[in-house]
Structures are given as C-alpha cells and as structure tokens.
Structure 1
Amino acid sequence: MTDLADLPEFLAVAHAGGFRDAARVTGKSASGLSEAVRRLETRLGVRLLNRTTRSVAPTEAGQRLIDRLGPALSEVESALNVVNGFRERPAGTLKLNVPVAVARLVLPKIVPSFLASYPDIRLEVIVEDSFVDVLAEGCDAGIRYDERLEQDMIAVPIGPRTQRMAIAASPAYLGAAGRPDHPRDLLAHRCLLGRFRGGALTSPWEFEKDGEVVKVEPAGPLIVSTGGGMDLAVAAAKGGAGILGLFEAWLRPHLDDGSLEPLLEDWWQSFSGPFLYYPGRKHLPAPLRAFVDFAKAARW
C-alpha cells in the first residue's frame, strides 16, 4: 500500500516544476520531497518524474497519475473540511496570494479583526504582483483586480469598490519644472515608472475627463520593480526626482502632509476595486469559507 502522504508531495513537485520551488511552496525541505517521490516511484515500480539539474517534468506515467490524483485528493480534502465545519470555531491554515497594493491598502483593514474572530486559523499571505495559478502555488485563494481574474473562479468583491490612480510631484520639482496643464504635457516631464516582473512598464498612463480618454507614455530617470520598489519611487518623488503615478490611497498620506502635490486631479481615472477569487468547489475549506464570509460582511 502506497503511503498516501507521498501523493500530495509528488503533486507539489510536479506542479512546481522542481524540488526547490515545491519546497518554497509547501514549506518542506527539498530533500524530504525528493525522498517522498523516490519512495513513491520505488513502490509503484515506475519512474514518475524526469529529473534534470534545473527542473523536473512528469513522465507519461507520471502525467497519468497527476490527471487522476488532482480530483481525487480534492475530494479527500473536501471531505475532511466538511468535518472541520462542525467545529465550534474553524481551524487550519488559509494561504492567500495577493498583490502588494492589496497587502498595503486592503488587508490591514480586515486581517486584524479576522484573526481576532478566528484565533484557530493561521493566515499565510504571499505577496507578489505577478499573476499566478493560485492552486499550483499551493494557495487557497487569491486577490486580484478584475481584468486579471482567472477563468472558472468564483470572485467576491473585497476592499473599496472604487479606486483611482493619482499623479503627484514634490513642490521642489514643480517649482523647477512647472505644472502640467494636460496629460500630454507629461511627455515633457521627468516621470518615475515601475516595471512588472514580466518586464512590462507601468505605462502608458491613462487619464479620463468628460468622456475623453488620453493615454501617454512618459519617460524619466527612474524605473523600479512594482510592489516593494514603489516605496523607493515615492521617496524619489518626495525628493524632487520627478512625477509619480500610483494608487491614490498609497499617495494620500504624502498628499495630506504636503510633501507631494496632486497634479491633473480632474483627469484621474477610476477603476474597480479588487476581488477575492477561489475555485468553485462544493465544499470550501473551513478557513477559506470563514474568510469569504468575513470579507462579504466587511464595510469599506
């Protein structure tokens, strides 16, 4: 009889494409995962993964096993979570994958009260701006904006339903370079940009006023990675390096204290707030069900 504990570890390695990446996702050691796969292959008498120095890939037999195991293990997990639902308080781990803006602007308003309400739930938050397959990454759910939602997922609004992108610069920069009167004037200014993990820049910048939409592709002296690198961009903007475009809520403290001044405010474009998305399972894991219900009831 195959040790059933080896099966999800085999799936984790196959989905991650390597032992080290699987170890990062599962929190287990790469050597332990390697031993689990070796043990499973020995017991089944067939190679399941082709290994190279850089990655692993399933053999034909391994792929057949993956195709059958995924639904089967999901059913086992659902069955166990039905039992968890009978507990007085849901327990277990909830793993979310969210972008930096959500970690900074949305979750701080819900996480403390959620954890206080469910002390037996352990919340793990993976923060990254790239769009990922949450299930393959070992997460229960993700939070993204509507244009980046995966298909075949259930989406629940979370956070403010309307947000805006703002642009701003320091008084020192504006004193030296002048203020733009129209979005196209930004082409003559020094602008600070971000770059997504996939390589694309956070441009063009899009503006809207009275039904007119204007897109400009600004340039400037600084490009930072989106997410954590944006703190450097904010500091550079406050230091007079140029004009910065970012979430209004992210810039609001600096606008309120005067270290940055808003520009072209009547052109700022609104967009829909983020969504919590998760697979449409019949029985959700109890921690995820608790979080979904909590997000639905939260006031923003």
Structure 2
Amino acid sequence: MTTELQDLQAFVTICRAGGFREGARQSRQSASSLSEAIRRLEDRLGLRLLHRTTRSVTPTEAGGRLLERLAPALGEVEAALDGLGSFRDRPAGTLRLNVPASAARLILPQIITPFLKTYPDIKLEIIVEESFVDVLAAGCDAGIRYDERLEQDMIAVPIGPRAQRVATAASPAYLAERGRPERPSDLLGHACLRGRFPSGHTPLWEFEKDGEIVTIDPKGPLLVQISGGVDLAVDAAVRGLGVIHFFEDWLQPYFDNKTLAPVLEPWWQSFSGPYLYYPGRRRLPPPLRAFVDFIRTGPCGSR
C-alpha cells in the first residue's frame, strides 16, 4: 500500500509540474525514480496515464480522469497529516496559496512577513497565475481572487483593501507629443498598451463617471500577458510608448516619482477588493486556519 501511494503521489507531482525533470526538482527525487513509479502504476492499471514527448508531459484521457479524483484525495491526506500540528504548541505545516499577480504584488507583501514571524513553524508556498483554478486539484489549500471569479460553493474571506481602482496613465513625454485625452473615447486615437489573460481573453478598458459607463477596445503597439508581462508594459509606458490602464496601486510609485502622469482620473472605475477563498471544510488544516484568523484579526488584513 505504501508503494502504491508513493506511485500515485509521483503521478500527481509530474502532472502538476508538467514534466519529469521539474517534478523531480520540486519533489527532490530523481527523474528516473519518478519514471519508474509511473511505469509501475501504468503496469498495475493496464492503462497509459501520460503522453510523453520531448517537449511536454500531459495526462491521457484516463490520466486526466484519475488526476481529477486523486489530487483532492491526496490533498485530504496531506490535510490530515497537517492536522497533527494541532497537537503542537503552534500551528505547523505547509500552506499553499494560488494567487494572481496583482495579489502577489499589492496584497501579500504586507501580510506574509508578519504572518510567518507570528507562525515560524508554517512554510508558505505561493503559486502565481491568473486563471481561476480548483484549488484542491491544483494542490493548493486556498486562493485569492476577485468576487466575479469566485465559485458559489467556496468560503470567501476579505483580504486587503476593500476598494481598488483601475488607473490610466502615460509618461509626460508621451502626453507632450500626443496630447492629453479628455474623454475615454479619445483613447481610440492613442497608442494603448494592452494586457491579455493566459486564457486568451483581452479585457476591454472600462471607465465610469457620474453613473455613465464607457467601454472601449483601444489599439496599440504592445500586448502582454497579464501577470508576468505587466512590468514590461509599465516600463514601456514610462519610456513613452503609450497609455497604460492598470491597478492604481501598481502604478502609484510611478505617479509619486513623476515618471507617469494620471490620465482621465475622474473616469477611473472603482471595484471591490479581493477575497481569500477555500473549499468549505468542517476542519481546516492548521496552517490555513492560522492564516484565515490572521487576516480576519490582524492589522494587515482587510481594510
């Protein structure tokens, strides 16, 4: 039974990592031992579980179905083991969070240091991605997302500021050359720096003033993936390439040092802040319970 569980864990590790080499790095095992575990598992089941190419490793249809059922089950096993930490004086174990880049940049920095200093026996792992995921299937305990992307069966706890704004900005040099837009529709005549989600969706730019909502689909010379490419777009805006439309808090340091200037500020749209979300469980793993309690009661939680 022990060997079977280890082989199943190896299968989940490889699927999450997207390959044997990365799986070996993350699990601190050898790629050959993971490969042998998959061979034993496939022989035992009489099914091929993984498609292997020189570039990628992906689950077969059978492997995908096994992963859907197996990852949550192993998550429960890990939670049961983490639950033993409740017998210690302080919560201990690993807490895995799945968060968007905006939360990693704007929300977590002021939370994780005091949290980990308060709970030194907890290890925190942060996975940054933009798509909404099944946190258990992804091997995570909880995630951070905005309310329009939360599933109804999740428990949601406010984290970070309860109101945020999307700001529009350009460099002083760009505005001196191209002129300052006075209404959102003016942006259709400007070079705009866009972002696209990993899913392929490119969000429109939305503005609001005195109850009037204006949505535009501007054009421009640069399109980046939201998450890793945002800093590249901000840098391009600072260098005068065009107009950017993104989280006000992300752009605020550039407003402060005058490398970016606010544009259309009366039209900046507000939206509600993010939530920590996790599946409803009667008993939470101690690291997650400690984190939930910390953001609910600590000075770095919702505000």
- TM-score bin (small chain): 0.7 to 0.9
User: Counterpart in 1 of 2:214?
Assistant: 214
User: Counterpart in 2 of 1:83?
Assistant: 84
Q: Does 1:238 align with 2:238?
A: yes
Alpha-carbon distance in 1 for matches of 2:65, 2:226: 39
> 1:257, CA displacement in angstroms?
2.1
Alpha-carbon distance in 1 for matches of 2:298, 2:238: 34
Q: Does 1:297 align with 2:297?
A: yes
Change (3 A) 1:65 1:128: closer
Deviations 1:115-150 (A, max 9, x none): 100111111111222333332322221111111224
Alpha-carbon distance in 1 for matches of 2:263, 2:118: 42
User: Counterpart in 1 of 2:170?
Assistant: 169
Residue correspondence of structure 1 range 94-243 to structure 2 within 5 A: 94-201=95-202, 203-243=203-243
Q: How many residues align?
A: 297
Greater Cα shift, 150-159 or 16-25: 16-25
- Runs of 5+ in structure 1 lacking a partner? none
Residue correspondence of structure 1 range 227-266 to structure 2 within 5 A: 227-266=227-266
Change (3 A) 1:265 1:30: same
- Work out whether residues 100 and 227 of structure 1, in 8 Å CA contact, stay in contact via their aligned partners in 2: yes
- Runs of 5+ in structure 2 lacking a partner? none
Deviations 1:167-204 (A, max 9, x none): 01111111121111111111111111122222222x41
Greater Cα shift, 150-159 or 94-103: 150-159
Deviations 1:220-264 (A, max 9, x none): 122222223222222221222111111000111111222211111
- Work out whether residues 48 and 59 of structure 1, in 8 Å CA contact, stay in contact via their aligned partners in 2: no
What is the SS of the residue equivalent to 2:82? helix
Change (3 A) 1:189 1:27: farther
Alpha-carbon distance in 1 for matches of 2:70, 2:198: 32
Change (3 A) 1:105 1:57: closer
Alpha-carbon distance in 2 for matches of 1:243, 1:176: 12
Alpha-carbon distance in 1 for matches of 2:199, 2:65: 31
Alpha-carbon distance in 2 for matches of 1:225, 1:107: 21
> 1:16, CA displacement in angstroms?
6.9
Greater Cα shift, 75-84 or 107-116: 75-84
Alpha-carbon distance in 2 for matches of 1:281, 1:266: 43
- Work out whether residues 186 and 218 of structure 1, in 8 Å CA contact, stay in contact via their aligned partners in 2: yes
> 1:214, CA displacement in angstroms?
0.4
How does the TM-score come out when normalised to structure 1?
0.86
Alpha-carbon distance in 1 for matches of 2:32, 2:145: 33
Q: CA RMSD in A?
A: 2.8
Q: Does 1:270 align with 2:270?
A: yes
Greater Cα shift, 226-235 or 75-84: 75-84
- Work out whether residues 104 and 128 of structure 2, in 8 Å CA contact, stay in contact via their aligned partners in 1: yes
Change (3 A) 1:145 1:271: same
In structure 2, give the amino acid aligned to 1:290. A
Alpha-carbon distance in 1 for matches of 2:69, 2:193: 49
Alpha-carbon distance in 2 for matches of 1:297, 1:141: 18
